[in-house]
């Protein structure tokens, strides 16, 4: 199974791209658990809630992964929670840090901030988009994981993402002659 994580700052089209890629490849995608959790919370979130969100996200991933699809698209992943926690609280729980090290995605698609901001009650930082983008990029580089930056219009983003996925699939499934 190839796991592809779509990551990046708020309002950059992660969910849209995850759904488009899943449709294109006839593959499952795992939605962002935080959105559902926060909608049902009934109070402002607190630091311990981020571990609950992380566990909920992991549970969703594991449920889809049990079906062993050839491709699995992850709408957000634990790097999002690490950055969210560090920005909001100045630290990140050991649980999230440990699970981030174990998440083993084959490719990360880093969404650029070049789309217009879409207001949403759960989004908090329209003025810090470039700051967060740069933070995500640094983290991905430090993690030493393969990632591709995705920018441009919705159609260009989709085309670039498909190209990145195809490149990964070809390099994964090509056997030496």
Going along the chain from its start, the domains and CATH numbers come out as 2-173 (3.40.50.300)
Q: Where does residue 59 rank: exposed (0-12), middle (13-18), buried (19+ CB within 10 A)?
A: exposed
Closest by Cα among 73, 55, 71 to 7? 73
Give the pLDDT confidence score for residue 11 in this predicted structure: 86
Taking only the tens place, the pLDDT of each residue in 29-59 is: 999 999 899 989 989 899 999 999 999 999 9
């Amino acid at each position: 199974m190839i796991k592809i994580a779509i990551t990046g700052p708020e309002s950059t089209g992660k969910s849209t791209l995850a759904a488009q890629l899943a449709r294109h490849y006839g593959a499952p995608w795992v939605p962002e658990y935080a959105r559902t959790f926060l909608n049902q919370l009934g109070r402002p979130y607190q630091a311990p809630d981020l571990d609950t969100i992380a566990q909920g996200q992991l549970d969703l991933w594991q449920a889809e992964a049990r079906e062993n699809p050839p491709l699995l698209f992850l709408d957000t992943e634990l790097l999002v929670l690490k950055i969210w926690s560090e920005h909001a609280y100045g630290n990140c729980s050991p649980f999230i840090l440990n699970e981030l090290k174990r998440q083993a995605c084959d490719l990360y698609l880093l969404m650029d901030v070049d789309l217009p901001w879409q207001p949403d009650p759960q989004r908090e930082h329209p003025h810090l988009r470039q700051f967060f983008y740069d933070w995500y990029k640094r983290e991905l580089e430090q993690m030493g994981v393969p990632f591709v930056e995705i920018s441009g219009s919705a159609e260009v983003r989709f085309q670039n993402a498909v190209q990145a996925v195809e490149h990964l699939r070809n390099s994964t499934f090509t056997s030496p002659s």
